[in-house]
Structures are given as C-alpha cells and as structure tokens.
Amino acid sequence: MSELTIASHDESEDRPIKPAILNGMRLKCPRCGEGKLLHSYIKVNDECSSCGLDLSHQRADDGPAYLTILIVGHLMGFALHIAWVTWRPEPWVLALSMSVIAVVGALALLPVMKGLIVGYQWAKRMHGF
C-alpha cells in the first residue's frame, strides 16, 4: 500500500463489516486484505506485514472453536443421517468414516473461523482495534 493510503487509516475511518470478515476468512489482514493474518496454524500475527495494522489486540479466545464445532456438528448430523438411510454401512465403517470427516472438517474450518472473528472485531473496533 502507498504511504498516502496508510496515512489515511485513522480513528474516524469507516470500517465496513463485510469486507473485513471476508478478508479475515481468506486469512488476510481485515484492513488491507493483503498481509497474512496467521503465522502458524491459528496464531495471529502481531501486525500486518503490508499495512502495519496492530493485530495484537485480538481476543478470539474460544469463539473460533465454538463456531467450528457448531458448523461441523450440524453438517455431520445431516451426513450421518444420509449415509445411514442411503447405504446402511456397518456401524464401525460409519463411525470411522464420519470421525475422519469430522476431524478433517474441523481442522480445515478452524483457521477460517479465527479469521472471521478477528475481522469482525476489527470492523466493530473491539478490544482496542
């Protein structure tokens, strides 16, 4: 980003919620959409490498895990019902396959939910943003 664009980010700026959340879900900075949000699996960078936004104020805590369990749990409920009614697999096959799908789904969705919450917090000026 140019110096003029960075300097224009002040306390009175408008922070539209939809782009911030979408940027967060893409695991990018909620303000500029360019810098990486996470530097490990779900550890948030202290600041954006592109625009310099201080991200150390984020307080996602257990929110991403809760949302992940909520979404994956509901999807797995439907998947379990459909698989049982359609194919009637052996119980151990059903349990093993659904467990693998649930774990993979949760691991894939957890960073996305972390980005969603950090983007929401930034847009709503929560926790010092």
Q: Which two tokens stand for residue 26?
A: 């893409």
Share of the chain above pLDDT 90, in %: 86
Q: Which of 43, 30, 22, 48 is nearest to 118 (CA)?
A: 30
3-state SS assignment for residue 51 = coil
pLDDT band at 75 (very low <50, low <70, confident <90, very high): very high
CA-to-CA distance for 124 and 129, rounded, in angstroms? 8
Residue 6 has pLDDT above 60, yes or no: no
- The sign one gets for the Cα dihedral 83, 88, 89, 92 is positive
Length of the chain: 129
pTM: 0.87
From the CB of residue 110, how many other CB atoms can be counted at a distance below 10 Å?
18
Residue 4 has pLDDT above 50, yes or no: no
On the 0-12 / 13-18 / 19+ scale of CB atoms within 10 A, 102 is middle
Residue 2 has pLDDT above 80, yes or no: no
Residue 7 has pLDDT above 60, yes or no: no
CA-to-CA distance for 50 and 40, rounded, in angstroms? 18
